[in-house]
Structure 1
Amino acid sequence: MATQTAPQRRASERERFDAYLATCPARKLLDRISDKWVSLLLNALADGPRRYSELSRTLAGVSQKMLTQTLRTMERDGLVARTVTPAVPVRVDYALTPLGASLLPIMTAIKAWAETHIHEVDEAQAAYDAGRF
């Protein structure tokens, strides 16, 4: 292994985590957090822990399989904590971890932007489609 100077090491580290590069591990994370269910779940958990059934009712259109899969992935990534309380029936709560909470302001802003600008996007799509046919 060749030795590197300090500036070369810094440049190498910058390249290692450059999301524009195909080999960058940050790409996997960007892919995951850009998923619609992840962003909606983060926003749904903003006010505190929620039970699975509450999350299912809040996220209209999510299948049981997709909700379970997304929550497991978010737990694995350290964004969500799952707490099981022994009772009859067993109670399972999901809450944002500090890491998940740190992502919340960005996701809240994206959700608000989408809700504010959906009409403009719809109009742009309609104008684009009208010109294409």
Structure 2
Amino acid sequence: MEEVTSRHFKVPVTQEDKDICLGPEGSVAHVTRIIRMLQGRWKLPILFRLYADPSMRTSQLKRDIPGISQKMLTQHLHELAEDCLIERMDFGEKPLHVEYQLSEMGRQLLPVLLATRTFSVTHPAK
């Protein structure tokens, strides 16, 4: 019986391993989904700003994130809320009073982002 080998420890070898890794509910699909949720020039700055303060108005975020346009801030806030990483709180007041805060899912993402930062620091770009 020929032994099945792999060039890399994480490469799936058997069909079952491939399904676990590459199938529609596999690791690749789940990691890809999270990366998609974070894609966009301003999403990470928004999230990290919300990690620092529990709740912020749009105008505060715009002031604290240099270079972001109102259009992109609004678009990324909407997308982050759609992906359940942040929550939009409308106070139902006139003039409009809306604040954003991290959702529970957004707070759970912080250790992942900090681990990613640690990985980057310990593996500098060449």
User: Structure 1-normalised TM-score?
Assistant: 0.65
Map Cα deviations across residues 3-30 of structure 1 (whole Å, 9 max, x no partner): xxxx9767524322242xxxx3642431
Change (3 A) 1:108 1:67: farther
Q: Which amino acid aligns with 2:76?
A: T
**CA shift at 1:105, angstroms?**
2.9
**Residue 99 (structure 1) aligns with:** 105
Unmatched 5+ stretches in structure 2: 1-13
Q: Which has the higher helix share?
A: 1
Instruction: Say whether residues 1:14 and 2:21 are aligned partners.
Output: yes
User: Structure 2-normalised TM-score?
Assistant: 0.69
State how far apart, in whole Å, the 2-side matches of 1:14 and 1:107 are: 22
**CA shift at 1:104, angstroms?**
1.8
Q: What is the RMSD computed on CA atoms of the aligned residues?
A: 3.1
Change (3 A) 1:112 1:78: same
Map Cα deviations across residues 21-57 of structure 1 (whole Å, 9 max, x no partner): xxx3642431331434111111111120100000010
State how far apart, in whole Å, the 1-side matches of 2:119 and 2:18 are: 35
**Residue 33 (structure 1) aligns with:** 38
**Residue identity (%):** 28
- Alignment counterpart, residue 74 of structure 1, candidates 69, 80, 83: 80
State how far apart, in whole Å, the 2-side matches of 1:36 and 1:105 are: 20
| Count of aligned positions | 109
Is residue 52–residue 92 contact of structure 1 (8 Å, CA) maintained in 2? yes
- Alignment counterpart, residue 60 of structure 1, candidates 26, 41, 66: 66
Unmatched 5+ stretches in structure 1: 1-6, 125-133
Q: Which amino acid aligns with 1:49?
A: S
Change (3 A) 1:51 1:109: farther
